[in-house]
Chains A and B, each alone.
Chain A
Amino acid sequence: EAGVTQSPTHLIKTRGQQATLRCSPISGHTSVYWYQQALGLGLQFLLWYDEGEERNRGNFPPRFSGRQFPNYSSELNVNALELEDSALYLCASSFGGNGYTFGSGTRLTVV
C-alpha cells in the first residue's frame, strides 16, 4: 500500500512569490494535516482538512491556506513568501485519528 506522497520534494522560490505544495493521503484516509518544520522551531501544526473542509488551523497568518479535493488529496498554498517560510513542510493523513502517517515532506527554500 502506498504511503503519504508529497510533491515536489524540493522547491525554491523568491521572496514575494507563491508556493503550492501537494499531498496524496493513504487510500481510505479522509483527514489531511499540514505541519511546518523549521530549524529551531520544531514541528508546528498548520492546517487540518477533513471531508473537504478546513476543520482547524494553527497559529499561522492567512497567507497560509489550502484545500482538500474530493479524492482527499490536498494542497497547501503559501502566498507572499517570506525568508522565514523556508522549512520542511510535512503532510500527514489519518482516518478518524487512526493510522496517522507522515509523508517525507517538501523542502521549501525562499531566497
Chain B
Amino acid sequence: GENVEQHPSTLSVQEGDSAVIKCTYSDSASNYFPWYKQELGKGPQLIIDIRSNVGEKKDQRIAVTLNKTAKHFSLHITETQPEDSAVYFCAASNSNSGYALNFGKGTSLLVTP
C-alpha cells in the first residue's frame, strides 16, 4: 500500500519568514496530493491540493510543488502569520482507491511574533 513520509515533525519560524514542509510517497499510482491544516479541536481543513498532471500550484501565500519522478511534494507558506500556527498534514491518493487518503504523520508549525 501507499506510504507517505512527512518532514519535519515540528517547525518553528518567526512571523514573516517562510515555512517549507516536505512529503514523499511510495505508490506511483497516486495522482492526487492534498494538504490539510488542523487546528486544535477541529477537523482537517483543505488548504491546497495538486494533481499529478501539474507541477506547481499557488494560492496567495501558499504553494505546492510536485516532483513525480522523485515521488515527493512540498508545501511552501510565505510571509507566515501567527494564525498559520497549526498541524499540517500531507496526503496522497488515487482514483482507483476512491481517493481514500493516505496521510503523513503531520507537522506542527509554530509561528512566533
Contacts and interface: CB of A to CB of B under 8 A. Distances in A.
12 contacts: A33-B100, A42-B89, A42-B105, A44-B103, A45-B101, A45-B102, A48-B98, A100-B101, A102-B43, A102-B44, A102-B45, A103-B43
Interface in A43-65: 43-45, 48, 50, 55-56, 58-59
Interface residues of B, number: 24
A94 B43 contact: no
Consensus secondary structure, chain A interface: strand
B42 interface: yes
B46 A94 contact: no
Contacts of B99: 31, 33, 94, 97, 100
Nearest to B43: A102
Given A42-B105, A97-B32, A100-B34, A48 B100 contact: yes
Interface of A: 4, 31, 33, 35, 42-45, 48, 50, 55-56, 58-59, 90, 92, 94, 97, 100-105
Given A101-B46, A105-B43, 10 more contacts: A35-B101, A42-B89, A42-B103, A45-B101, A55-B98, A58-B100, A90-B43, A90-B44, A103-B43, A104-B42
Residue from B1, B36, B95, B103 with most neighbouring chain A CB atoms (10 Å): B103
A33 B43 contact: no
Contacts of B106: 42-43
Interface in B89-113: 89, 91, 93, 95, 97-106
Contacts of B36: 102
Given A42-B104, A90-B44, A103-B43, A50 B98 contact: yes
Nearest to A40: B105
Contacts of B44: 43, 90, 102
A45 B1 CA distance: 12
Contacts of A50: 98
Interface in B38-82: 41-46
